[in-house]
Structure 1
């Protein structure tokens, strides 16, 4: 498959095996290199270029400063890692509203005095285990409950936030582990690039490879596009959905550790509205909310667009409410474009 192509689920049941070609039946219009998918990615790149031009014209000294550009990438990295996991869940036909709360819980749990005694390794392991644990609960509720993903993850959102508040007692927990704090200083940069950004790049590349070059990715697309056809083809639909929520939880755990490095603390308000930002980035990147189609590259570009907009608004001293209105308008436009493409 061309690296710029997205995965599109078959509309009819495949043949005898899970990886066999789909049988006859109505299909969506095929994606080809240089077709609609290429235009979607190019359009997002065009938006990014336009935002850079606006920044260069309005605040040239500040926006084009190396430190500011590095700040944009750093801020995009945390929500970007979360978005990769959310993209998989949405392509698989689900939704995850609990990612922000999971990030908060993982960051709080990992920055308690008891956990910090185990050093960097213990804190990293804690964030990953908390993320995986929450993802496991979500997956079990959705796949084997069975419970509607919206309700299951909404319940996790409330529970994780409440537990994070209880553990932290509403206080900011400051990190005292030097090995963790050192990852956020300039001496740890690799060729001028912060380690946080490198982790985001690695997660994005691995996510792209998994979605486009593995059986897991093909099964994710199939389950999201037509669960019944996937079941008849021999795909374990319930297990696949469970694995998708585990993957989302893992990404939340990674993001929580990155946030700890970035802020040097853990608090129950971390990850506020991450679920909305991640879903919005995936949508404008071309992921269908109904499942069965999406790209990691598109989601990453969506994250960069939103982060750049936020940075531009901050530099130009525009109010937060104006930022939210602009983001909302972009989301509506992206959904309308999606609808037109699917029905055409």
Structure 2
């Protein structure tokens, strides 16, 4: 009796294995690999800074390399530099903060109000620093909460804070300049330590703290992860909303520190302090190699970006060139920096 075969007993003829075509990616050139890495980017910034210094030495003569002039450059870079450190962390995470200049002005006004200065006269001038920092962190937290939990686009939320903080500063100051009455506060912020202005030391300490946070802490690694891929960071267990809130709080603290520094430098608080500082900070961060889309950036690069713009401004001043020419030169540098970012951040073989 012959056996009947069921469909399960039938062996299907073997099919040829499918092949997946792999497109070979052309290898990166050594130059591209160099400038795509952090060492190459920083080397390019150092080269750009040296070229500006060379131009200054040729056009301005011996006065450019005088110690006083070098300290002047660092002093001018210090306030923008502090704001830029906070801005770097925010941009690395894929955000933006347009309000830091206005928050700085508001903090300078709040710290010099009559009521605060009366308390300072009864206690200690350190109270002015506390008030400025408190205003900065409060404004930063408002930005962070609105952006993270209110789901408002960072550009619009911080633009609203820019307008509101500047208006509040004008109301509190009654459109007047509030003079700092504490001589101890002014004396401290105009002292030299080891021959270097205290404002420069503050910038160095803030930059060092920012470098440690970004490169040596879990907070910094999470910041980079959020900027690289926000959804992947959330799925990896990072509380993206809370982290974003604290990033803007840090930017606010930096604005408060900058307010203290400008109070020591100008001895007065006014609502006009910090105008357009947010644009200078963003420019320094971008020139320093931080991607505007987030996911990559360094504090070291930002410091070089700040120094490049401060040195460039000094060269223009030494040669009696107008601020309009300075603005044009800054614009050209920003465009070149963005073009280089787009060129060297693309994977090899990509088009467009």
TM-score using structure 1 length: 0.88
Matched, 1:300 2:303: yes
**Cα offsets for 1:157-211 (capped at 9, x unmatched):** 00000011111122211111011110243xx211110111111101101110110
Which residue is equivalent to 2:127? 122
Give the 3 Å change call, closer, same or farther, for CA 44–231 of structure 1 in structure 2: same
The correspondence for 1:193, drawn from 175, 192, 196, is 196
Give the 3 Å change call, closer, same or farther, for CA 43–33 of structure 1 in structure 2: closer
Matched pairs, number? 313
Other structure's SS at 2:175 match: coil
User: For the Cα contact (< 8 Å) 2:228–2:295, is it kept in 1?
Assistant: yes
Give the 3 Å change call, closer, same or farther, for CA 164–318 of structure 1 in structure 2: same
Structure 1: how far apart are the matches of 2:51 and 2:33? 27
Which residue is equivalent to 1:156? 161
Structure 1: how far apart are the matches of 2:111 and 2:325? 35
Structure 2: how far apart are the matches of 1:73 and 1:270? 19
Structure 2: how far apart are the matches of 1:231 and 1:192? 48
Which residue is equivalent to 1:135? 140
Other structure's SS at 2:292 match: coil
Structure 2: how far apart are the matches of 1:110 and 1:335? 38
Q: Which consecutive segments of 4 or more residues in structure 1 shift more than 6 A?
A: 31-35
Q: Which runs of 5+ in 1 are unaligned?
A: 1-28
Give the 3 Å change call, closer, same or farther, for CA 35–328 of structure 1 in structure 2: closer
Q: Which runs of 5+ in 2 are unaligned?
A: 1-27, 348-352
Give the 3 Å change call, closer, same or farther, for CA 314–244 of structure 1 in structure 2: same
Matched, 1:212 2:212: no
Which residue is equivalent to 2:274? 271
Other structure's SS at 2:125 match: helix
Which residue is equivalent to 2:329? 326
Structure 1: how far apart are the matches of 2:193 and 2:35? 35
Which residue is equivalent to 2:318? 315
User: For the Cα contact (< 8 Å) 2:189–2:264, is it kept in 1?
Assistant: yes
Structure 1: how far apart are the matches of 2:33 and 2:344? 15
The correspondence for 1:178, drawn from 153, 161, 183, is 183
User: For the Cα contact (< 8 Å) 2:224–2:296, is it kept in 1?
Assistant: yes
Matched, 1:247 2:250: yes
Deviation at 1:108, TM superposition (A): 0.9
Structure 1: how far apart are the matches of 2:276 and 2:253? 18
User: For the Cα contact (< 8 Å) 2:101–2:274, is it kept in 1?
Assistant: yes
TM-score using structure 2 length: 0.86
Deviation at 1:342, TM superposition (A): 2.0
User: Highest CA radius of gyration, 1 or 2?
Assistant: 2
